[in-house]
Amino acid sequence: MKKILKLQGLDCANCAAKIERAIKKLQGVTDVRVNFLSMRMTLETQDDLFDSILEEAKKLAKKVEPDILIS
């Protein structure tokens, strides 16, 4: 499953790169791209694991950027 999510509160391109690297390490993630300029994240995972991976991705993003909102 591939989904494009909106990011709010992402402050810098370096943080976007850190978030992308962290999420890529999650098991079940096929591909992830965090675009600082468009404030979007493209997340591609196995269909049956999408919801659980999304929750883990949100937690990882909060560790890097505490004020980020992903929707």
CATH code of the domain covering residue 40? 3.30.70.100
User: What is the domain range of residue 36?
Assistant: 2-64
The identity of residue 60, as a single letter, is: L
Handedness of CA 38, 39, 42, 48 (dihedral sign): negative
Structural domain includes residue 35: yes
Q: In what order do the strands lie in the sheet with 29-35?
A: 29-35, 40-45, 2-8, 69-70
The residues pairing with 54 across neighbouring beta strands, listed in sequence order, are none
pLDDT band at 64 (very low <50, low <70, confident <90, very high): very high
Report pLDDT digits (tens) over 2-53: 999 999 999 999 999 999 999 999 999 999 999 999 999 999 999 999 999 9
Q: Residue 69: inside a domain, yes or no?
A: no
What is the distance between the alpha carbons of residues 22 and 55, in angstroms, rounded to a whole number? Answer: 13
Say how many domains are in the chain.
Answer: 1
Residue 71 domain-assigned (yes or no): no
In this structure, is residue 31 part of a structural domain? yes
Tokens at 32, concatenated: 């992830």
Its pTM stands at 0.93
